Structures are given as C-alpha cells and as structure tokens.
Amino acid sequence: MAAHFPPLSAANLKPCFHQVGGHMANDSEPESYVDDEGRFYKPYTDGPRAEREIQFYHALFLTDEMLAGTPRPNSAYPSATDTAPEGTPHTSPDEGDLEGLRPFVPRFYGTLAHGGKNLLALEDMARQYKKPCVLDVKMGFSSVYPWAEQRYITKFNIKDAETTQASCGFRISGFKVYRPATGEWFQPDRQWGRDRTKDNVGDTFTLFASGEGGISAKDLWGHAALGALAPIRAFTAWAHKQTSFRFYQASLLIMYEGEATKIEDAHVRVSYVDFAHCFQSLGQNDENLSTACDSLVTIINTAIAADEALAA
C-alpha cells in the first residue's frame, strides 16, 4: 500500500492575494487559495512535473508511520517524457540532506481537487504577517536540464541569457514591499525582474527594505541574528554539502513584516520553494545551485556595503 497524507477538505478556501511569483490571483478568478488552518493551496497540472514536485514533498515530509516500511521516495521518474534519463536507478535521499533542508521548505499537507483545479496544500508562510513583503529569487545559473524537451531547452536557454540567470546565478521572479512612510505598496510586474542586469540587480535587495519609517537594508539583510543573510548562508552551506537532489527553477523566498519598525518585529523568513524541476542527484553535489548561492550572497553583501557608503 502506497504511503499517503491524510485527506483534506475544500471548505473555507479563500483567494490568495499575497503571492508574487508563479500563479498569482486576480479579482475575477483566483489561481491560488488560503484557508483558516494556515494552509496555502497552489494549482498544478497533472503530468511528470507535478509528479516530481509531489514526490519531492513526499520524500521530505512523509513520516516513518506514513511510509509503513516502504522505501522513501525521491524526485526522478525514468518512465515518462521530460524526466530523468532511462535507466536512472532509484535511490532514497540521504537522511542528513533531508534534515538540513526541511527547515527551509514550507510544510506539505497533501493534494486537493477544488473548482476544477488540482491543488498542492502547503504551509501558508504569509499568515503571520499583516503586510507581507515578499521577494522571489529564482536560483541557478541554468534553468535547463539536458534531458528536457527541446522546446523547453530552447525557451529557457534564451530566458537565462536575457536575464541575470546566466550571469549572476539568479533572477528576480517576484517583488512586493510595503512602504510605511507612504502607506503604499511597491509591486513591479514580472518584466521589471527580467529587466534587471548584472550591474543593477544588487539594487533589488536595498529596494526590498521598507525604508523610512520601517526596516533598513542593513538590518533586513545584515543583522547578525535576525537578518536574511544568516539563513541564506545556512542554506548555502547545506547546498554545498547535499548530494541527494538537483534543482532547476526553484526559488529562495524572502519574507518579512512590512509594518515593522525594528528588525525584532520583522520576523524575517527565508524559504525554498517550487520543485517541479527537481531530480535525484545520484551522489553528486548540485553545483548549479551551490555556486548560485555563493553569487547571491556576494551580490547582496556588495549592494548593502554600497548602500551604507552612500548613506555615510
């Protein structure tokens, strides 16, 4: 008998309006939902990409009781188009890799069908915030895995070259910040993120601070205990050690409370999300991710130092 998560109810689902990357809601037809139990519901389409993402969450969050003696799953399927190459052996992920990754991944609760959509049920990471500021950073120097469909390879080779993906190891996929001084939101469209260049992408991280009347860029990123760089460095250390997974187009998501006036009240959180293009790594480090993390840390540090120099 296959391991599984307990069934979910579709009662009390409400449109989600805080998402900045992926499927975003609009007033007429919401793409994602939240409920009163602290869950976020993300749509998926049946196929190998959804299978991979669900299998990844199963690998990470199925308990020993749920597994009931069956092997812990991994994230590659050598049986369908757009999956790992034929003959790829199944290996369960390393338990140490899973333990190090779990604190960064929103908890998974299972799947649900609602309103003609299939939904992944995940932890609602924005629930604790009144004014959730959200930055979605798509990680990796390349979005392309060699065994993908040719149209995917062509599309994302072009996108990587035209954005900061290939040059910096990441691109800005979503951005939303609250300005307490004006009581307004700054939420540029996706093209704004795609238009960032190697020369100006660092400005994104200073712009993400709420600024006057709120949190400074120095505290948001650089505070030793509560800033975002500390968990990003911890994630980077994990990325350099892990040998269980290969990630393409997954994102680091940085969130904090936009109404906070001091870093102690900002509740900065760094998470890792979006696993439709995650594969088992067969004992090799995912350098596409680990070197991208190094680049991200360097660019953030450089941007914050430049911002401090201007303020001096």
Q: Is the pLDDT of residue 309 over 60?
A: yes
| Mean pLDDT in residue range 171-191 | 95
Contact 253, 212 (CB under 8 A): no
pTM for this prediction: 0.89
Please give the structure tokens belonging to residue 280. 């088992």
- Predicted pLDDT at 148: 85
Q: What is the pLDDT of the chain when averaged over all its residues?
A: 87
What is the distance between the alpha carbons of residues 232 and 214, in angstroms, rounded to a whole number?
A: 22
First vs last C-alpha separation in the chain: 64
Report pLDDT digits (tens) over 129-162.
Answer: 999 999 999 999 999 998 888 999 999 999 999 9
| Mean pLDDT in residue range 220-224 | 96
| Mean pLDDT in residue range 275-293 | 92
Instruction: Please work out, in degrees rounded to the nearest 5, the angle formed at the alpha carbon of residue 38 by the alpha carbons of 36 and 44.
Output: 100
Report pLDDT digits (tens) over 59-94.
Answer: 898 876 666 566 666 655 433 344 555 555 667 789
Report pLDDT digits (tens) over 6-45.
Answer: 677 777 888 887 656 554 444 456 688 998 889 999 999 8
Distance from the Cα of residue 226 to its chain's centroid:
20
Please give the structure tokens belonging to residue 73. 């799953």
What is the distance between the alpha carbons of residues 65 and 60, in angstroms, rounded to a whole number?
A: 14
- Predicted pLDDT at 130: 96
Please give the structure tokens belonging to residue 143. 């979005």
Distance from the Cα of residue 129 to its chain's centroid:
18
Cβ contacts of residue 108 below 8 Å, gap of 6+? 5, 57, 58, 60, 61, 120, 121, 122, 123
What is the distance between the alpha carbons of residues 238 and 236, in angstroms, rounded to a whole number?
A: 5
Q: Is the pLDDT of residue 258 over 80?
A: yes
Tell me the backbone φ, ψ of residue 177, rounded to 5 degrees.
-140, 140
Quote helix, strand, coil % in the chain, to nearest 5. 35, 20, 45
Report pLDDT digits (tens) over 183-200.
Answer: 999 999 999 999 999 999
Instruction: Between 233 and 25, name the one with better pLDDT.
Output: 233
Q: Is the pLDDT of residue 163 over 80?
A: yes
Contact 298, 221 (CB under 8 A): no
